[in-house]
Amino acid sequence: MKERIYIAGAGGMLGEAFHKVFGSDFELKCTDIDVNAPWLEYLDFRDRQAYIADVTGFDPQYLFHLGAYTDLEFCEKNVDATYLTNTISVENAVFIANQLEIPLLYISTAGIFDGKHEEYDDWDQPNPLGHYARSKFMGEQYVVAHAHRYLVCRAGWMMGGGKEKDKKFINKLILQLLSGKKEIHVVNDKDGTPTFTVDFAKNVLLLLRSQCWGLYNMVCKGTTSRLEVAKELVRVLDLADKVAIREVSSDYFKDVYSAPRPPSERLLNKKLELRGLNCMQDWKTALREYIDSYYPGIKSELAQLS
């Protein structure tokens, strides 16, 4: 009989990857407030009693808590909703996991650091700058302090889900290219590390199988920048000689992206490396795999626009 995993907040790009990676070996129940796929059911995990009842009724061996508000500008403008969703709901998840005596997975973020250092390992002290980062860090701290068994996995710049689910940097650039733009403005003052959702889910599975509970940085290998990622994407799409990338500072986008962001979100998977459990790919390899897997035909589509 397959082990059961309850995945809360599974409607986004990360939930899609977990459904893909875990779906064959486990019995899954995937829920979200946005039922945007046939394998999803409705649940608002901010409703404590509904969350408790739904997970308890499924009686899983693991609880994965994925969902959060991740739009930094939204979080700055909707502070109470942010802490209810990103922090209080995590406390609900910890209560449920402890009651059922099962491990809990919580997703944290590289954004909890202030960016004053070039890189951060698993033991560096976070210092969140805005309400999104603070709400996520408060959730992380609660899990570490109160969950009996847990995985806290910190992701970097997420890429995954394709056109339907990717609301992040890669798909925003692709949408500009598909609109026919021949010039793209990209900031030259933000460093970080991409995280391919499928690789992330595979590494969580490896940790789960090994029962190496704890807190882990979990990003692609290799550190980079927004500018370098954009240049590599254009190369992957065979547009290096057709699209110009204009370097700008973050002030160029200050009217759109007003929330505080650290200058560096570069994580090092130090604990994964020391345990011999780091299966994250190099970010350039992962980017190519992402485009090939989730954007079939994109090169031909873009070529027709040239």
Write down the pLDDT at residue 306: 65
Q: Which two tokens stand for residue 4?
A: 């059961």
**What would the pLDDT profile of 249-277 be if each residue is shown by its tens digit?**
999 998 888 999 999 999 999 999 999 99
How far from 196 is each of 107, 155, 258, CA to CA, in Å? 14, 9, 26
Domains of the chain: residue spans and CATH: 4-165+194-222+265-282 (3.40.50.720)
Alpha-carbon distance of 280 to 122, in angstroms, equals 15
Amino acid (one-letter) located at 283: W
Closest CA to 180 of 116, 137, 243: 243
Alpha-carbon distance of 184 to 232, in angstroms, equals 13
| pLDDT band per the 50, 70, 90 thresholds, residue 303 | confident
Alpha-carbon distance of 92 to 109, in angstroms, equals 19
Residue 39 has pLDDT above 80, yes or no: yes
Report the phi/psi class of residue 17: left, alpha or beta, with left for phi > 0 and alpha for psi in -120 to 50: alpha
Q: For residue 292, give every residue at least 6 positions away whose Cβ sits within 8 Å of its Cβ, in sequence order, or none.
A: none
Closest CA to 96 of 69, 62, 135: 62
What DSSP line would sit under 221-259, residue for residue? BS-EEHHHHHHHHHHHTT-TTT-EEEEE-GGGGTTT--S
Tell me what the mean pLDDT of segment 186-204 comes to. 96
Identify the sign of the CA torsion 40, 148, 114, 153: negative
Q: Which two tokens stand for residue 68?
A: 């959060």
Of all residues in the chain, the percent with pLDDT exceeding 70 is 100
Q: Give me the helices (H) in 39-88, please.
A: 48-58, 72-77, 79-83
Q: What are phi and psi of 221, to 5 degrees?
A: -75, 145
Decide if 256 contacts 74 (C-beta within 8 A): no
Residue 107 has pLDDT above 80, yes or no: yes
Write down the pLDDT at residue 223: 84
Secondary structure of residue 157 in the 3-state scheme: strand
Q: Which two tokens stand for residue 87?
A: 């922090």
Alpha-carbon distance of 170 to 286, in angstroms, equals 12
Q: HSE (CB half, 13 Å, CA atoms) of 150?
A: 27
Write down the pLDDT at residue 179: 92
Question: What is the distance between the terminal CA atoms of the chain, rounded to a whole angstrom?
Answer: 53
Q: Which two tokens stand for residue 52?
A: 């408790």
Write down the pLDDT at residue 282: 97
Write down the pLDDT at residue 305: 78
Residue 236 has pLDDT above 80, yes or no: yes
Of all residues in the chain, the percent with pLDDT exceeding 90 is 92
Amino acid (one-letter) located at 98: N
Alpha-carbon distance of 72 to 11, in angstroms, equals 19
Alpha-carbon distance of 46 to 95, in angstroms, equals 13
CA triple 290-185-161, angle to 5 deg: 20
